[in-house]
Structure 1
């Protein structure tokens, strides 16, 4: 009976270590990708942290606290527009900006907010403006 408890404890510890290693590897990979930046996406009143990455045709966003191999959100570049920006009033984010974006999903307009640094905002607006025939899509 005592041996079974030891095996169970060792199994749980090993699973926790493997999960932590996978999460750290995922986080390291997302942070090191070209065109990636840290930002949070408003979900109700919460701001779950994540990493966004510019793709050729889409902006992708992965949750920080997840093991999912695919992004949690994706917005098409051709329909993405920044409609407002303001200084963040979120605790722990001095100097950051809250950016309201509009995109299309399944043919209908969708608005969402990103919490990001001023440098990340400059990169986002440059990426949006670099799309062919984009006029009035950035503030």
Structure 2
């Protein structure tokens, strides 16, 4: 078989893999959002360089926790789970510098304190309103006078 046929077969196989990956991402997104409560949520994994370290993803409320899923992953489980009882809203700001290119245009950056330290999330204004409501709406009997565990 000539070399050009091998190259054509390899290109076809590569195209097939890319299409299967894209189809897998679509099916995963539909499965994650079938119960509602999902929204675009970016998570900052590295804060060593200003404006860098953002990963696009999806957020989903699941009872007392907020689950974060990476956008371009086929893994069915959340990459990060944030418990409501361990989150404290610190503040918000507009994206600065390189963050404006890394994040969606209408997203704002929020800071939250967790037992593991400070984290940054980015979401739209509407999602921030829902996040604030979810954060404040603890279960009955919640003691608001004590700090997070």
CA distance in structure 1 between the partners assigned to 2:20 and 2:92 by the alignment: 40
1:131 is matched with which residue?
Answer: 138
1:97 matched to 2:108: yes
Counterpart check, 1:65 vs 2:72: yes
1:77 Cα offset (Å): 1.6
Match of 1:35 in 2: 37
Hey, what does 1:11 align to over in structure 2? 13
Moved more, 82-91 or 5-14: 5-14
Distance 2:95 2:16 in 1: 41
RMSD of aligned C-alpha atoms?
2.4
Q: TM-score, normalised by structure 1?
A: 0.80
Runs of 4+ in 1 over 6 A off after TM superposition: none
- Structure 2, gaps ≥5 residues long: 47-51
Residue 49 of structure 2 corresponds to none
Q: Which residue of 2 aligns with 1:21?
A: 23
Question: Gaps (5+ residues) in structure 1?
Answer: none
1:25, distance to aligned residue in structure 2 (A): 1.5
Distance in structure 1 (CA, Å) of the matches to 2:85 and 2:44: 22
Q: What TM-score, normalized to structure 2?
A: 0.75
Q: 1:11-50 CA distances to partner (integer Å, 9 max, x unpaired)?
A: 3332222122101221333345411110111122232110
Q: How does 1:77-88 map onto structure 2 within 5 Å?
A: 77-88=84-95
Tell me how far apart the structure 2 counterparts of residues 85 and 35 of structure 1 sit (CA, whole Å): 22
Cα shift readout 1:57-97 (whole Å, capped 9, x = no counterpart): 21100011111111111111211121111223231544432
Equivalent position SS for 2:138:
coil
Cα distance, 1:127 vs. partner? 0.7
Shift of 1:9: 4.1
